[in-house]
Amino acid sequence: MALIVQKYGGTSVANPERIQNVARRIAAFRNDGHDVVVVVSAMSGETNRLIALAKALQNNPDPREMDVILSTGEQVTIGLLCMALKEIGVDAVSYTGGQVKILTDDSHMKARILSIDDAPMRADLKAGRVVVVAGFQGVDEKGNITTLGRGGSDTTGVALAAALKADECQIYTDVDGVYTTDPRVVPEARKLDTITFEEMLEMASLGSKVLQIRSVEFAGKYKVKLRVLSSFEEYGQGGEGTLITVEDNKNMEQAIISGIAFNRDEAKLTVLGVPDKPGIAYQILGPIAEANIDVDIIIQNVGRDGTTDFSFTVNRGDFEKAKGILEEVRKHIGAREVLGDNKTCKVSAVGVGMRSHPGVASQMFRALAEEGINLQMISTSEIKISVVIDEKYLELAVRVLHRTFGLDQAK
């Protein structure tokens, strides 16, 4: 007898047959005596279809009207899922973001949730209904439709779980949990039973796109018990997915490193011979930010002879643009040269265990060195060590590190 919020992504509701599968899973939870609130995304492909329509009319679509259009994707799914539920005898009612009153700020296409009115949902649950809510959308104070940005349905799920003080927020997706690394690269990759929020944040931001990063932050902040599961396994037969926990409740036997994440899409840029004086980092990165280019790793080493070298990575798609901007910046600040390399990738070892285990970094560097892999950049946080390397070594590096940290050993 628990209150469970379930979120189903676009591939889980991609067509009527899959929606029927989702309905049967929900019915099984109801039969076990649970109250269920469901959040759904748009059917896969639908959001892209709508974006293409908008872009055919406006190169840079008006954000308010874009939200009016995009929000219809989820609205269709909530109606269809309620129909599928009713067809198998489960009473259900749908709510758009505006109807359940997910109040957001007015930042169209990237709105933040301010509050949720849980009263109508509680009344429906009490009356024995499954509540089906459109993910990804809300409404601002003036009644304008807003959306939370791509992947925002995860955030809706977590926000509803927080507002309803649900026992668990289950995120159904096309994978059955969070893995130690990508099984396509390392066949021995294992599913993790638990992972901490901090680790999940590092894994998510490093390219393990199981969960939207904002939803993980949100869940951590509001102490929502979050679980990632597969919607393609039969109810009762599938595993328990991966539980994302607030506390580091791993026992001592457990591995220091939880997973190896990687990102193929890194491109490296270096400005050589930068005058080593205050404000120089801003002078270099300011124009990059203004061009809406996201910067990932930033490295500036100690200066020498009054100059220093400044490096950072960007998404590979932004490489040429960023390089052009840096050429202008170079003239302006009197730097020597701009170097670029878009054949790089990033590999990271993530684990809260490294806090209490010194020597993880050197263990990692030795393993890579033994394979002859040169490290181009190094960046560390409290629970993560990332290296930028030549992209041709990506698979090799991931496999080596996976083995080095004992992630392929069954426990």
Residue numbers at the binding site for a copy of itself (CB under 8 A): 16, 19-20, 50, 53-54, 56-59, 61-62, 64-66, 68-69, 71-72, 75-76, 78-80, 82-84, 86-87, 93-94, 96, 98-99, 143-145
Q: How many residues would you count in the chain?
A: 411
Of 104 and 180, nearer to a copy of itself (C-beta) is 104
Q: How many CA atoms, within 13 angstroms, populate the side-chain half-sphere of residue 68?
A: 9
Residue 230: CB minimum distance to a copy of itself, A = 22
- Token readout for 299 is 């490295």
Buried b (16+ CB within 10 A) or exposed e, 239-268: eebbbbbeebebeeeebbbbbbbbbebbbb
d(CA 364, CA 187): 20
Of 94 and 308, nearer to a copy of itself (C-beta) is 94
* CB contact at 8 A, 181 and 259: yes
Residue 95: CB minimum distance to a copy of itself, A = 9
Buried b (16+ CB within 10 A) or exposed e, 358-386: eebeebbeebbeeeebeebbebeeebbbb
Residue 115: CB minimum distance to a copy of itself, A = 17
User: Distances from the Cα of 357 to the Cαs of 195, 250, 348, 406, in angstroms?
Assistant: 18, 14, 17, 15
Of 104 and 376, nearer to a copy of itself (C-beta) is 104
Of 77 and 270, nearer to a copy of itself (C-beta) is 77
* CB contact at 8 A, 160 and 153: no
d(CA 388, CA 282): 23
Of 130 and 360, nearer to a copy of itself (C-beta) is 130
Residue 333: CB minimum distance to a copy of itself, A = 38
Of 53 and 114, nearer to a copy of itself (C-beta) is 53
Residue 42: CB minimum distance to a copy of itself, A = 10
**Which residue matches tokens 């990575």?**
313
SS (H, E, C) 155-169: HHHHHHHHHHCCCEE
Residue 71: CB minimum distance to a copy of itself, A = 8
Of 62 and 240, nearer to a copy of itself (C-beta) is 62
Residue 37: CB minimum distance to a copy of itself, A = 17
